[in-house]
Structure 1
Amino acid sequence: MAQIGKAPCDDTLILHGARPEEGGCPDASKPWVLAAAIVGSSMAFIDGTVVNVALPAIQSDLHATAFQAQWVVESYALLLAALLLVGGALGDHYGRRRIFAIGVGIFALSSVACGLAASVQQLIAARAVQGIGGALLVPGSLALISAAFPEKERGKAIGTWSGFSGITAAVGPVLGGFLVDHFSWTWAFFINVPMALLVLWIVWRHVPESRGASASGGLDLWGALLATAGLGGIVYAFIEAPTQGWRSPAVLSALAVGVLGGAGFFVAERKVRTPMLPLELLRIGNFSGANLLTLLLYAALGGGLYFFPLNLIQVQGYSATVAGAALLPFIFIMFALSGWAGQLVDRFGPRMPLVIGPAIAAVGFALFAVPGVGASYWSGFLPAVVVLGFGMTVTVAPLTTTVMNAVGPELAGVASGVNNAVSRAAAVLAIAVFGALMAWAFDAALADHLRDMGASRQVAAFLEGERSKLAGAAMPPGVDAATAAAAKRAVAESFVAGFRWVMLSSAALAMLSAVSAWLMIRGTSAGGADRKN
């Protein structure tokens, strides 16, 4: 699943998203503001996890390839990641209540379009619009809390929001799986509509307007455009290369756009008055180290876990509901041990938790590579889920603390926003790159299995035409039961071969993130000493 629960620094985005004097919201409105923020952000959290569970059903019903199914996730996540910081700035400039409500409205209408999509191309387009709505909605929900609650009350509000977000992260995939199993994948999108109507009613009746103190600073529209082009070009190249080939003009052009867009983004950030990414932050050792760790570790998490529900449903034969519940131990571990993990930096400093946590996560990813076809969840996958959950628990709170301690209070909001966006961009890029890795490993393994089973030329040719669907490949028509069973086994074994490559690559990325922490993270003080490194 591309995004498990909240991204890092979500809570600190609330904490530092407004000046203390902005807590002028009437007491009677505060519970309503909190309710709007919780339900609004829950839509995005649910959508970020439900769609992965629904992908096999979407792929089957819309006759989509595995790479088109990737676009269903990527079109949403790409625009959300690229426009997230701009969405927050728009709220500061034009009113947080207004931008939040526009985001909710766009999200709801595009959710209806997703549910009514008659082709995978229509679904991808609707998901892209949904990503734009999410980019306005997600930071807006956090900013509403920040603006409504003064500093002395904000901690309790954050705790309430975070607690409900944890419940959402746990319930969302299971609910989505239930809807897919008992109704249709379309309800994974339609469920957003009543939630959106409730939020809009609350906003209209009870939420006051507010603006940020920095509303006169300007918007980094060039940064947003170039970031979208950079991410989009690279993502397109890696998703389309397995079917079009790396020498395809479209793939090479997209790769060029991605590289030039990325380079242009950094050039633009040096020149604009209010950049999305203030480049001087990258000269702060602990900040750059924490963001490199975030990039590597969340690439492993987002890219690796994207394929997990596909394995459970299409290869292991589990229902969508069971697949949705498969990561519940991960979420419960993070929820139960988050308080303990938050004390690790105080006791040991930032370096050791950020080395040990990703190293434990690397072991978890490696354990995902062990089970084969027909594996039991309890003995095959649960140990990996538990170890990965513990590793991420050890990492996330110290990572957030390190990001905040690396800069002064005046830059805390910017720093947390950058780290949050890095984690989302990492998942976007990793899903595309791991998709290409999966396709390469799947094709190679399938050719070997077909040769070993002595498949006829007709069977081999049919499966060659189906390979773009990966584990969702149809079986050759008109063959005997034994041949059909052997072909199905060959497809499943080939997907597992690719899954193992993906998970071992995730383990390598997690270990690299631990190494980056060992080499780059220094100091224990807040604000001052860390910035000198």
Structure 2
Amino acid sequence: MPTPPATTPTADRAPASRHRWWGLVAISLGVSLIIVDSTIVNVAIPSIVDDLHITSSGAQWVQETYTLVFAALLLLMGRTGDRLGRRRVFLAGTAVFTVASAAAAIAPTGSLLIAGRLLQGIGGAMILPTSLSLINATFRGRERGQAFAIWGSTIGGTAALGPLLGGYLTTHFSWRWAFAINLPLGLLVAIGTLLFVTESRDERAEHGADLAGAVLSVTGFTGIVFGLIEGRTYGWWTLRQPFTALGLNLHHGLSPVPVAFAIGLASLALFVTVELRRNRQGRTALLDLRLFSIPSFRNGNAVAGIVSLGEFGILFSVPLWFQNVLGYSAFDAGLALLPLAVGSFAASGLSAALAPRIGTLNLVVAGIACEVVGVAGIGLVLAPDGPGWPVLPFLFVYGIGVGWATAQITGVVLADVPVAQSGQGSGTQSTTRQIGSALGIALLGTVLFTNLAGDLSHALQSDGLPPTQATAIASTVQASAGTAIQPLLANPATHQVGERARESFTQATSLAAYTAAGALSLGLLAALRLKRTMAG
């Protein structure tokens, strides 16, 4: 294993100032910004689609770009913070994130909005790993456990609050305020960090950067997620419609989707090869693959990744159902998700007291079980012509699960990791969760929209519409991410078509919920396996 890095005195001793708790407030607020931004635009998507005239694939990329870039850079930015100073990188990330939020808020086109989200992802990747390192350097003993509990609660709770805040801002102001709100908050984070957070760094941290690893990981995950998102648009094998990008102008033949999958998988395979070689040579590596020889670390990351796939994916589809099928405003859709936030905050607060009594891993298992019940229940009670309230109890149960599992999984993953490698271990765990989140949005979005188009086209043909017309209507509803449904319902001439669209969207959302529940069930099995491993 690599030699444990030495640290500066500020990293070895917690600051004596009682104001370090104000520093924790600043750090937690910074983390809340980047976590909220992964969910705040969920309820704003229909307004963004209408205003910027983007397709459903573009709507997913508004989400995916942020999450994917965020995930790809976590390890690299964590290493940079160790070498250059964690507070310095945290502040730089806050500045990048705030400026990018301003760019997203004024974006006149979908492409520029996605570019702003990309920059937000870079800033977020600078904030998250350094926040963990700063807490580790600032607090000691029991206080450190309390600080990490607050950090975990921030992640669990603010992920659920994002849709409510986004809905309020979208309904009463504009979707642009979902991004503009970050400007004053980012300023508060910067001021609080400068006043109350002490700088720390590892003096012997390895110099240099694993640029090859960074490029290969970004290329790999981008290729896979592109394929998942665009397969329904361009075809999974044969090109269904013209594709123009990067100088290519394809009109027929092979779809770019299988090519993207092939590039993505090959890049990830090469990434593993490069990292193994750099590990053997003792050179700086983006990922120390030897950590995966530790059973708790290996299985804990599997749990974290799979659970994140189910958690954040479902938060993409349910707000769309509330708005497009039930006709809720963006704010009402966010308000409908409030039970999730209440359950998450309550469970996160209780986790610090429950974990010592029943065990951290038992709490994670209980949390994932609640998530499975909550998500599967959502799929069962969705109805195109019924009220929205039957969904609320299951959202609350799901929120409890998020609060318990999210607040405690970091401790489980790092339980057997050597102290000298805890920084990279936490960065790896964060990366795994963010990649799981990116794949979850891609996978469940694909399930949602692919089944929506297929089921609606079949239903309309059963009603007597010619196949060409039925397919065209289904494609329009799919491309609008469902926002075309309410106008269809409002027009007496197309009301019946709108009803069919509501039914198809509901069925597709239920299927997406069942898919998320299936992923969470795999995470539960992985958690139970991890429990047996640690017990043995």
- Tell me the equivalent position of 2:41: 51
* Residues 53 and 176 in structure 1, CA contact (< 8 A), matched pair in contact too: yes
2:298 is the counterpart of 1:288:
yes
Q: 1:118 to 1:234 in 2, by over 3 A?
A: same
1:254 to 2:260 alignment: yes
1:326 paired residue number = 336
**Contact preservation (8 Å) 1:174, 1:325:** yes
Show CA shifts across 1:321-366 (max 9, x none).
2222333323322332346545666556677655554344222221
Seen in structure 2, the aligned counterparts of structure 1 residues 475 and 156 have a Cα distance that, compared at 3 Å, is: closer
Q: Which amino acid aligns with 2:481?
A: L
Residues 274-283 or 92-101, more deviating? 274-283
Any idea what the Cα deviations from partners look like across 1:118-147, whole Å, max 9, x if unmatched? Answer: 111111111111111111122233333333
Deviations 1:159-196 (A, max 9, x none): 55556666645654322211100111011111111222
Query: CA 1:217 to 1:152, structure 2 compared with 1: closer, same or farther past 3 Å?
Result: farther
Task: Note the 1:407-446 alignment, pairs <5 A.
Answer: 407-446=417-456
Is 2:385 aligned against 1:385? no
Find the partner of 1:194 among 155, 165, 184: 184
Query: Normalized against structure 2, the TM-score is what?
Result: 0.85
How many angstroms apart in 1 are the aligned matches of 2:48 and 2:334? 15
Consecutive unaligned residues in structure 1, runs of 5 or more: 1-16
Structure 1 position 152, deviation (Å): 6.2
| Cα distance in 2 for residues equivalent to 1:34 and 1:351 | 26
Tell me if structure 2 keeps the 8 A contact 1:18–1:147. Answer: no
Q: Give, in angstroms, the shift of residue 28 of structure 1.
A: 7.1
Residue 277 in structure 1 maps to residue 287 in structure 2: yes
Q: 1:376 aligns with which of 377, 384, 387?
A: 387
Matched letter for residue 200 of structure 1: A
Q: 1:208-223 maps to which residues of 2 (within 5 A)?
A: 208-223=198-213
State yes or no: 1:182 paired with 2:172: yes
Tell me the residue number matched to 1:67.
57
Aligned to 2:249: none
- Residues 1:86 and 2:76 aligned together: yes
Equivalent pairs counted in the alignment come to 508
What is the aligned partner in structure 2 of residue 500 from structure 1?
510
**Percent identity among equivalent residues?**
35
Q: Which residue does 1:311 correspond to in 2?
A: 321
- 1:289-342 CA-partner distances (Å, limit 9, x unpaired): 222222222211122221111111111111212222333323322332346545
Farther off after superposition, 315-324 or 390-399? 390-399
Residue range with higher mean Cα deviation, 123-132 or 464-473: 464-473
2:114 aligned with 1:103, yes or no? no
> What does 1:474-485 align with in structure 2 at a 5 Å threshold?
481-485=491-495
Q: CA deviation at 1:98?
A: 2.2
Change (3 A) 1:161 1:287: closer
Deviations 1:390-440 (CA, angstroms, capped at 9, x unpaired) = 444454455334323233433333333322221111110121122222232
Cα contact 2:96–2:123 (8 A) shared by 1: yes
> Which region of structure 1 is more displaced relative to structure 2, 285-294 or 340-349?
340-349
Q: Is the 8 A contact 1:350 1:522 kept in 2?
A: no
- Following superposition, the deviation at residue 217 of structure 1 comes to 5.0
- In the TM superposition, what is the alpha-carbon distance from 1:369 to its structure 2 partner? 1.2
The whole-number CA distance in structure 2 between the counterparts of 1:523 and 1:474 is 50
Q: Distance in 1 between matches of 2:155 and 2:522?
A: 30
Q: What residue number does 1:264 align with? A: 270
Which residues of 2 match residues 150-161 of structure 1 at below 5 A?
A: 150-151=140-141, 153-158=143-148
1:299 partner letter: L
One of 499, 523, 526 as aligned partner of 1:513: 523
Deviates more, 1:253-262 or 1:163-172: 163-172
2:242 maps to none
Q: Which residue number in structure 1 is paired with residue 310 of structure 2?
A: 300
TM-score (norm 1): 0.86
Q: Output the CA distance in 2 between the equivalents of 1:409 and 1:220.
A: 22
Amino acid at match of 1:154: R
Return the letter of the residue paired with 2:397: V
**Alpha-carbon separation, structure 2, partners of 1:19 and 1:421:** 29
1:267 aligned partner, one-letter code: T
Compared CA separation, residues 343 and 30, structure 1 to 2 (3 A) = closer
Amino acid at match of 1:22: D
Provide the C-alpha distance between the structure 2 equivalents of 1:26 and 1:36, rounded to a whole number of angstroms: 18
Cα gap change, 1:468/1:414 in structure 2, threshold over 3 Å: closer, same or farther? Answer: same
Alignment of 1:235-254 (within 5 A): 235-247=225-237, 248-254=254-260
Select 2:114's aligned residue among 104, 124, 148: 124
**Structure 1 pair 241/384, CA: closer, same or farther in 2 (3 Å)?**
same
2:414 match: secondary structure: helix
Output one character per residue of 1:97-117: Cα deviation in whole Å (capped at 9) or x when no partner. Answer: 322222112111111111111
Give matches, 1:316-355, under 5 Å: 316-338=326-348, 341=351, 355=365
Further displaced range: 57-66 or 33-42 = 33-42
Partner of 2:247: none
The 3 A distance-change label for structure 1 pair 124 and 484 is same
- Distance in structure 2 (CA, Å) of the matches to 1:386 and 1:315: 21
Aligned to 2:132: 142
- Residue identity matched to 2:261: L
Change (3 A) 1:33 1:135: same
Amino acid at match of 1:521: K
1:13 equivalent in structure 2: none
Aligned to 2:484: 473
Q: Which amino acid aligns with 1:241?
A: G
SS state of the match for residue 411, structure 1?
helix
- What CA distance in whole angstroms lies between the structure 2 residues aligned with 1:352 and 1:146? 24
1:10 is matched with which residue?
none
Partner SS, residue 27 of structure 1 = coil
Aligned to 2:250: none
Are the aligned partners of 1:453 and 1:486 in contact in 2 as well (CA < 8 Å)? no
Aligned partners of 1:519 and 1:162: how far apart in 2? 23
CA offset at residue 235 of structure 1?
A: 0.5
The CA distance in 1 between the partners of 2:231 and 2:23, in whole Å, is 46
Secondary structure, in 3 states, of the residue corresponding to 1:50? coil
